[in-house]
Homo-oligomer: A and B are copies of this chain.
Amino acid sequence: MREIKGNVIVGQSGGPTAVINSSLAGVYKTAKDRGAKKIYGMLHGIQGLLQERYVDLADHITNDLDIELLKRTPSSYLGSCRFKLPEISENREIYDKIFAILDKMEIEYFFYIGGNDSMDTIKKLSDYSILNGSKIRFMGVPKTIDNDLAATDHTPGYGSAAKYIGAITKEVIRDGLVYDQQNVTILEIMGRNAGWLTGAAALAKCEDCEGPDMIFLPEIPFDIDRFMQKIAEIHKKKSSVVVAVSEGVKLADGRYVCELTDGIDFVDAFGHKQLTGTARFLAEKINREVGCKTRAIEFNSLQRCASHIVSRVDITEAFQVGGAAVKAAFEGETGKMIILKRISDDPYICVTDIYDVHKVANIEKKVPREWINEEGDYVMPEFVSYIRPLIQAELTPIMTDGLPRHLYYTDKSKK
């Protein structure tokens, strides 16, 4: 007999991933199966909620095929925001407003799918809730391609981004072998402060591919002179050189390599300088000083939205963390985040657990120093062993008329 549960609201926040909607599907399906009355989706996260922008998800996810399509739909289905709640002591009004809206909607369970900033939101809302005797349960559902969230073995979204990076790195390496002449390809991979994604380029090193020749993570200061010297050394042995660099690599003096370009700065809507141009800067320098053919390839936004080649392990875990969050909240938990705990590497076994969100918010997890080689220009086998299970198997896209089908968001039921 199914117990009737109260209303649920779920939101997505921060940068999207290829599988973030699998977590949304996990929250929705589990909440529905476990008797939730209404399941609302906030549009553009907490920022949209403050404007009372939300939808009844039952109007959008109408059958099992919709759930399958939603899992395979890249980029936050509900829209996202980058909005950090102030401290409760600084601005109590904003919290009063959020809770007034939630109370009006008769929300009992609140789920937020996101990274570090989103876990901070869960922390603050659950603190406020406890301070004010609200019965609403707040649970965090982890996601980020950056894999920089503490406490969890890895974050949903990372495995698919890593698989995409591994697959296209292999393809680009082969492409570099086509002409019988010296050439250098610089791959620019996402990761402002942590090298989790850039390290995934090492996956390309396997039986049928030599892999990249060098890999530079933002954890280690980047020495341009040494880099140029190494390019020359490698060219003595092979003509096609492929290097993976993080967009966030910095010189010893703290300047980003991409700041050395003379182009115009791109500033994003949050006032952050966009870190693009690292590959271009290095490729131009090599072209000028060495004279060989060079290419700068930015892996760009596809890293977070290439849903046409997701990892089955990743998309399944993304669904599971959504479901586990609902289960935990329905059992009374609040102020927690779902984490992934790796029980074993080989065979890969991973389970969900719950973790106090106060202990994870705002901690940025970096690649351990011992997973990077001494010279700082490649990753160690331990790092690859860590990633490898996360990219296993596929979830076939549902194709219509030659292209992957997504669940289309229409405005018709917007409230």
Contact = CB atoms under 8 A, between A and B. Distances in A.
A278 interface: no
A64 to B, nearest CB: 17
B294 A297 contact: no
Contacts of A406: 170, 174, 208-209
A302 B168 contact: yes
B302 A172 contact: yes
Contacts of A293: 268-269
Interface in A246-280: 261-264, 266-269, 276, 280
Given A81-B179, A207-B408, A283-B266, A302 B171 contact: yes
Contact of A284 (B76, B81, B266, B308): B266
Given A47-B180, A263-B284, A405 B208 contact: yes
A261 B261 CA distance: 13
A407 interface: yes
A404 interface: yes
B305 A175 contact: yes
A373 interface: no
B16 A175 contact: yes
Contact of A174 (B261, B267, B305): B305
A288 interface: yes
A266 B15 CA distance: 32
Most chain B C-beta atoms within 10 Å of own C-beta, residue among A172, A293, A300: A300
Contacts of A208: 405-408
A200 to B, nearest CB: 11
A326 B405 CA distance: 38
Nearest to A14: B178
Contacts of A407: 208
Interface in A275-317: 276, 280, 283-284, 287-288, 292-298, 300-302, 304-309, 311
A295 B274 CA distance: 10
Contacts of A347: none
Contact of A175 (B48, B74, B403): B74
Given A399-B394, A406-B170, A175 B206 contact: no
Contacts of A15: 178
Interface stretch (A54-62, A351-359, A374-382, A385-393): A385-393
Interface string A102-137: 000000000000000000000000000000000000
A183 B301 CA distance: 14
B301 A75 contact: no
Contacts of A302: 168, 171-172, 297
A325 interface: no
A402 B393 contact: yes
B171 A308 contact: yes
Given A171-B404, A206-B401, A269-B293, 19 more contacts: A75-B174, A79-B179, A79-B180, A80-B178, A82-B179, A167-B308, A171-B306, A175-B301, A181-B269, A183-B269, A261-B263, A266-B283, A266-B284, A268-B293, A269-B292, A311-B402, A392-B401, A392-B402, A393-B402
Interface of A: 15-16, 43-44, 47-48, 73-76, 79-82, 163, 166-168, 170-172, 174-175, 177-181, 183, 203-204, 206-209, 261-264, 266-269, 276, 280, 283-284, 287-288, 292-298, 300-302, 304-309, 311, 388, 391-394, 399-409
